[in-house]
Structure 1
């Protein structure tokens, strides 16, 4: 499968939850299994994309990521929700329902 550009991925009708994280970040490691549950339980209603801020500094600067984990939800290329800190499965599933395709 060809690698899609970030800009193309977030433009879609399916909401895209972008998790800005780092491998050394303990709260980010807490968030990872919650995101896995989200994708397991919600299938194609929401897409999760993980962006390592150490490897993608340009993206982190573009979206002014000041703390991690920070999650940004995109729908049709627009930011519809943004929050820093560990997010619960209930919160994220609520977003999937609210903005779901």
Structure 2
């Protein structure tokens, strides 16, 4: 499987978009599958979208943002990484995280 969005495009989106969400996963990671299911529930109810990337293909991003593990939820506001989530815990927890993220 190859990447579907270039690193350059991701970096451009981080800079250009007011808010940008990246969900990083790894192939064959069952925890990633479960985490994304929880994320989908929350983002659908909040009408949010996120960039889904296979971290195996984004070493530059891993180094630049010091991504520690998969799954990873990276929340950007106005070009800055404002929060990282590695333990998704529950739908309720993710809802609270994204609710805080939406506040200016």
TM-score by length of structure 2 reads: 0.76
Deviation at 1:100, TM superposition (A): 1.6
Distance in 2 between residues matched to 1:20 and 1:94, nearest whole Å = 19
Q: Say if 1:35 and 1:48, in contact at 8 Å, map to a contact too.
A: no
As a proportion of its length, which structure holds more helix? 2
The answer to which structure, 1 or 2, has the higher relative contact order (CA under 8 A, 6+ apart) is 1
How many equivalent pairs are there?
Answer: 96
Find runs of 4+ consecutive structure 1 residues off by over 4 angstroms: none
TM-score by length of structure 1 reads: 0.77
Deviation at 1:38, TM superposition (A): 1.8
1:38 is aligned, of 34, 42, 46, to: 42
Q: Which residue of 2 aligns with 1:73?
A: 75
Matched, 1:93 2:100: no
Render the CA deviation track for 1:28-86: whole Å, top value 9, x for unaligned. Answer: 0111211211221011xx43111211122221222222211122111111111112133
* SS of alignment partner, residue 66 of structure 1: coil
Q: Say if 1:27 and 1:86, in contact at 8 Å, map to a contact too.
A: no
Q: Say if 2:20 and 2:75, in contact at 8 Å, map to a contact too.
A: yes
1:60 is aligned, of 54, 59, 62, to: 62
Q: Say if 1:39 and 1:47, in contact at 8 Å, map to a contact too.
A: yes
Unmatched segments (≥5 aa) in structure 1? none
